[in-house]
Every structure is written in structure tokens, then in C-alpha cells.
Amino acid sequence: MIRVTVKKKNHSYASFHSKGHAGYADSGKDIICAAVSALVITTVNSIETFTEDEIELKEDDGEVFFRFTDPVSERGTLLMDALVLGLTQIEESCDGKYLEVITKEV
């Protein structure tokens, strides 16, 4: 299962951590893993390209840790809202069997 934990501080995005593999299908054929990866990578690249937000990024096999190091811009917030929306829709479409999205206020 993939677990994505999104953390907010004072109702503003602080970080997200994506870990695991969906297990929906064999490696290379897992559409859940591919969809989550596409959303995560596009969000990170979009924040780097379209905002001035300062971030910290760590990636390892099947794991991404992303953190805003300064207050988040409006564009950064919108991009994060889109990430959470997309992930939540995938989670709902597979009844939470392959993806769990957790949002925490820290």
C-alpha cells in the first residue's frame, strides 16, 4: 500500500511524505503506482518551476519526502490542493485498498 501523509501547520501546507508500493499489479504494470508517482513528480516539478517557494526534497526507492522551508505561496497552496485532490480521488476509486491519504495538522 502507498501511504501519503500531508502535514499542515496553522492550516498551511508544511510537507508531504509518500512511501510504499500499491501492490495493484506487477512492477511496470501497476497503474495505481504510476498515477501516484505522476501526481507527486508533477507537483514537485510544478512547485519548483512555477513558484518561488523554497523546498527540501529527498527521494529514495518508492519514497518521497517534500517540505516547504518557508511560508507557502498562493500558487504553492493551489498546487498542493491539486495534489491532495488527485490522490484522494485515486484513494476513493480503489476503496482505500492500495492508497491511503492522511492529512494531519501539526
Task: Give start and end residues of each alpha helix (H) in 6-73.
Answer: 31-50
pLDDT in tens, 67-80: 999 999 999 999 99
Average pLDDT over every residue of 85-101? 97
Strands 2-9 vs 99-105: parallel, antiparallel or unpaired: parallel
Please, what sign has the CA dihedral across residues 63, 4, 88, 24?
positive
**Residue 53 contacts residue 73 (beta carbons within 8 Å):** yes
Cell 518551476 belongs to which residue? 49
* Residue 27 pLDDT class (50, 70, 90 cuts): confident
Check: CB of residue 32 under 8 Å from CB of residue 2. Answer: yes
Q: Is the pTM of this model over 0.85?
A: yes
8-19: string of b/e by CB count within 10 Å (b at 16+)? beeeebbbbbbe
Given a cut of 90, is residue 48 above it in pLDDT?
yes
